Amino acid sequence: MRRKDREVLESARIEAIVRSACVCRIALCDGDMPYVVPVNYGYEDGTLYVHSAREGRKIDLIRKNGNVCFEVESGVELVPGKTRSGCTMKYASVIGCGKAVLVDDPQEKKRGLEIILRQHAVDRYEMPEELVNRTLLIRIRIDSITGKASGEPGA
């Protein structure tokens, strides 16, 4: 990391950033071109859970190569300066890598969907079996993760 003064090293702080964000961007391998897609997600125990339709480019790419990179950010705010060149940004962000796997087990799918709902502050939600069956769940086990923050508490 170029700016060591902005590096977030504490695992609790990195986890707090992951838990506070709403959108995760996942980078997938598509031959020699990357493909990035924003997704809703949930996080628990070093794992991201993403719900998806059963078909599409993202699913095709994961089936070919489950290696992914992901990014989340929170607290993003432009801080105006006295001059145009004096502007800066407040932010906290995380970048990580992991392996994406398509989940078929109905119990794990239901648990993953509950984790996604909790990420978005939904505590109780009836989850009919039909909904669980028609939804595809992607599990990303995080292999590596780094954090960076500027202009916010703890940075």
CATH of the domain at 24: 2.30.110.10
Distances (CA, A) of 7 to 77, 90, 146, 147, 154: 18, 14, 8, 6, 11
| Domain interval for residue 22 | 4-148
Residues facing residue 70 across a β-bridge: 26, 96
Which tokens sit at 91?
Answer: 């932010």
> For residue 149, what pLDDT band results from cuts at 50, 70 and 90?
confident
Q: What is the pLDDT of residue 3?
A: 60
* Any domain includes 154: no
- The percent of residues in the chain predicted with pLDDT above 90, rounded, is 49
Question: Does residue 127 have a pLDDT over 70?
Answer: yes
Is residue 88 within 8 Å of residue 138, measured between CB atoms?
A: no
Question: Does residue 141 have a pLDDT over 50?
Answer: yes
As a whole number of angstroms, the distance between CA 67 and CA 4 comes to 27
Question: Does residue 132 have a pLDDT over 90?
Answer: no
Is residue 49 within 8 Å of residue 41, measured between CB atoms?
A: yes
Question: Does residue 26 have a pLDDT over 80?
Answer: yes
* Any domain includes 134: yes
Q: What is the pLDDT of residue 25?
A: 97
**Number of domains comprising the chain:** 1
* Any domain includes 155: no
Question: Does residue 154 have a pLDDT over 50?
Answer: no
**Bigger pLDDT: 78 vs 24:** 24
The mean pLDDT value of the chain amounts to 86
**Bigger pLDDT: 79 vs 56:** 56
This prediction has a pTM of: 0.86
* Any domain includes 153: no
Most confident of 19-23, 56-60, 113-117: 56-60
- The percent of residues in the chain predicted with pLDDT above 70, rounded, is 91
Q: What is the pLDDT of residue 5?
A: 59
Three-state SS sequence of 73-131: EEEEEEECCCCHHHCEEEEEEEEEEEEEEEECCHHHHHHHHHHHHHHCCCCCCCCCHHH
CA triplet 131, 124, 133: central angle to 5 degrees? 15
CB atoms near residue 140 (< 10 Å): 25
